[in-house]
Chains A and B, each alone.
Chain A
């Protein structure tokens, strides 16, 4: 493979993998800490993309739109947890699946009512709207590089939040033993609400960040959700580090799969999952 093409593919896989990580890390946190399986997680990715589309048009600045979008999705996350999700903690996974499946239908239809069923696009921010030339014919979009950088920063911030702060300590403790944390005087309900809102905001942020390079279209959350499931399964439930490794693995497998073996490109992520299931059914980084 030509080095320039190889570099482009590598950057693309990084960018895809990191974006996937944002969605999957929210999913894995909600699973790992709250024990909730959230099928509607992909819907928030979609909502994020649509918010980016509308807000950018409304305020005229992509970054301001991003900020407002995050605020809105946090609010949505808090409201949903309060209204519905908190009633599911003691219920069987089956009911969590069903309720969040109902949410998907509601969000999809609400999206159709609010934004219609057309495909939209979001403009790449003006000052990033250029490409770095690699060879005479090939170049690479700067926005994609910036995107990967933002994702990496967020990953680092999450690591810091969970491993190094008091809030992170409470979150980790809450994941291990809910009752004990409560007995120590920590408001576990509030903690869970925050974690849920954080997870939702991560998915929505991924949708917003990715909107300038992928179009904004109905049903866009579903595919992301399934691939995020694959990421969580490969990485191990509850492990943010596992999600990062698995998301990058899938980014590479998917991007290079499309170039090297296009016949089975749609299957590479799943084949990877099958292999991991045979080798380590509980994922690469099983949380202790």
Chain B
């Protein structure tokens, strides 16, 4: 069986250099607001992609409706933000994650009854249902969406260490969250829970015969992934200062899927790499032509045909079949 925790040294090195670069960027690029915002967005998408990779790369659950939780969290923040003051970060974050956990639990109970092609279609269908509900709701701003006028306020018993209005401060909060989620996922996957999950992907029947309640394991993974996607969505809504139905759209889900594949699914750092690569490509293409989606589509087709194992396979040998030493 593949050692899912093992990742090539070169990839780890790229990751460390990348994170270090992200950490020092605001010091040197303090005036480059555009790029700082861009990098912050990339990191948010990386968190989103990592949460999806937990399902796809480790659990073997190809969800095409993951944007649902991303969007729901953003809309929760919007609903809890008064017009002229910021919402409490702790309360709004807890509410947003709670909404996502509940939604993932309900949807998970239904969709996990299916597998394979059904699972893909059903996750997409439920996400699309949420999309239309939001899209048609006047209260939630319909197709235009709504602004989150004021950023959430971070305070410890009345003491506010810094304001998220400062882009640099928000940038570091997102970077910290990214690192936190990364290590959380590594811990989770190294735990017995993670091993069972990978086992289910490899052979669910066998895991069930061994006595593991596979449905419950998959459900827990589905809820965790939903909550982490919600965390990303919350940050995205606060960062952009607006929410719209596109956050829940299947293009959002498709983009995350692309990031996971591009970076190499089932590798801890892959989704981060994939998010960076896809967003960078998008930035280049949009600055070049109005019809950038055509080129993006061609790029996706090419990746599927030529680099099925993602960019991660460029770094070091693929060792999907054998165990790695050290």
Contacts and interface: CB of A to CB of B under 8 A. Distances in A.
Contact of A109 (B133, B250, B291): B291
Contacts of A270: 125-126, 128-129
Interface in A244-288: 266-267, 270, 273-274, 277-278, 281-282
22 contacts: A31-B117, A84-B301, A84-B305, A93-B120, A94-B265, A98-B254, A98-B304, A101-B300, A102-B300, A105-B294, A106-B293, A113-B291, A222-B250, A226-B124, A226-B125, A230-B125, A237-B118, A266-B132, A274-B110, A274-B126, A277-B122, A281-B118
Nearest to B292: A109
A281 B116 CA distance: 12
B118 A106 contact: no
A68 B183 CA distance: 58
Contact of B133 (A93, A95, A266): A266
Interface of B: 56, 62, 64, 110-111, 113-114, 116-118, 120-122, 124-126, 128-129, 132-133, 136, 250, 254, 257-258, 261, 265, 291, 293-294, 296-301, 303-305, 308
Interface in A97-129: 97-99, 101-106, 108-110, 112-113
Contact of A113 (B132, B254, B294): B294
Given A98-B254, A101-B300, A267-B133, 5 more contacts: A98-B258, A110-B294, A222-B250, A230-B121, A277-B113
A222 B125 CA distance: 11
B114 A105 contact: no
Contact of A105 (B261, B293, B304): B293
Contact of A95 (B132, B296, B308): B308
Given A97-B62, A267-B132, A273-B122, A105 B300 contact: yes
A233 B118 CA distance: 7
Contacts of B297: 102-106, 109
A16 interface: no
Most chain B Cβ neighbours within 10 Å, of A84, A87, A277: A277
A116 to B, nearest CB: 12
B291 A94 contact: no
Nearest to A102: B300
Q: Tell me what chain B mostly uses at the interface: helix, strand, loop, or mixed.
A: helix
Contacts of B299: 102
A232 interface: yes
B120 A91 contact: no
B320 to A, nearest CB: 13
A62 interface: no
A171 interface: no
Nearest to A281: B113
A224 B300 CA distance: 23
Nearest to B117: A37
A229 interface: yes
| Of A91, A97, A106, most B-chain CB atoms within 10 Å | A97
B62 A94 contact: yes
